[in-house]
Amino acid sequence: MDGHWPVTIDAGFYAVFHMIEALNALECRDAYTFADALDILERILAPRYLGQEFLGNYEYLFYFRRGALYGAHFPSPVAVARYAELCERMYAHVSAIVVEGEAAAGR
Amino acid sequence: MPTVDVHVVKAEQCWALAQQYHAGKREEFLCVNLIVYAVGHWIEAALALQHKHPSAPARGVPHADREVLMRKFLVGAKWIEPEAADTYAELVAMRHTFADDGVQDRAFIEQYVRIAEPLVERLKRLIDDRSHRIRS
């Protein structure tokens, strides 16, 4: 997928981001901005459900994406592969918690 | 901060991918994002020609500041028409719908591309013209 790294980076981040939003929605929350999303992640989701490691990894994704898509950097194929693998792990982690939450909420 | 050339390379890459996704009727959401990135990089390339660059709010990305600088320095210097800045603001505002109000459908992306294409052509002409003047 040479030349498609912007898609990989964008899709990977938003897959994780929207799954986090799904977890928020189970408790009637929305993030209006990225800053808001990070506040909610730090204050509620990481301590209660997702863990501190997840929070650190989310920040890694956010700043990697910003630097690659908006900034001066062209990520190497190895860095993109590592990023994509991290997205997959994080997506699976949040997804499992969302499924548990849906079951607990009777949805 | 990215140089003019880096902005142009990224803009062209994102626009080529957006056109590919649009033509293939693939992933409308990613196509919208790619258009926003392409337009944003062309705007920033023009700003970089004036040695200016938008900042991002804490924990955020630079969309709002980019529009402010576009109006102040590109429109203000008569490098581009105010309608171009209005179109950019419209594209950014329309893109917000994916976050707050569901997923874009085919009609949405067709309308989005129709709005974006003239702006893309205008920004490309601007960069070509101003780069040539500055470098010659």
In terms of residue numbers, what domain contains B110?
Answer: 4-135
pLDDT for the residue numbered A15: 96
Q: Give chain B's domain count.
A: 1
Q: Give chain A's domain count.
A: 1
Q: Could you give the CA distance from residue B43 to residue A57 in angstroms, rounded to a whole number? A: 31
Going by C-beta distance under 8 Å and a sequence separation of 6 or more, which residues neighbour residue B42?
B7, B8, B11, B120, B123, B124, B126, B127
pLDDT for the residue numbered B97: 61
| pLDDT at A44 > cutoff 60 | yes
B25 Rama sector, left if φ>0, alpha if ψ -120 to 50, beta otherwise: left
pLDDT for the residue numbered A97: 98
Which ipTM did the prediction report?
0.90
pLDDT for the residue numbered A3: 87
The CA-CA-CA angle for residues B130, B133, B135, to 5°, reads 105
User: Residue-wise pLDDT tens for chain B (136 aa)?
Assistant: 899 999 999 999 999 999 999 999 998 889 999 999 999 999 999 999 999 999 999 999 988 899 999 999 999 999 999 999 999 999 998 887 655 556 678 888 999 999 999 999 999 999 999 988 887 7
Tell me the count of A-B CB pairs closer than 8 A.
49
Average pLDDT rounded to a whole number, residues A93-103: 96
In terms of residue numbers, what domain contains A47?
Answer: 5-104
Shortest distance, CA B83 to any CA of chain A (angstroms) = 24
Nearest beta carbon to residue A70 from set B16, B21, B62: B62
B100 interfaces chain A, CB cutoff of 8 Å: yes
Average pLDDT rounded to a whole number, residues A33-37: 92
CATH number, position B70? 1.20.120.330
Q: How much is the pTM?
A: 0.93
From chain A, pick out residues whose CB is under 8 angstroms from the CB of B11.
none
pLDDT for the residue numbered A40: 97
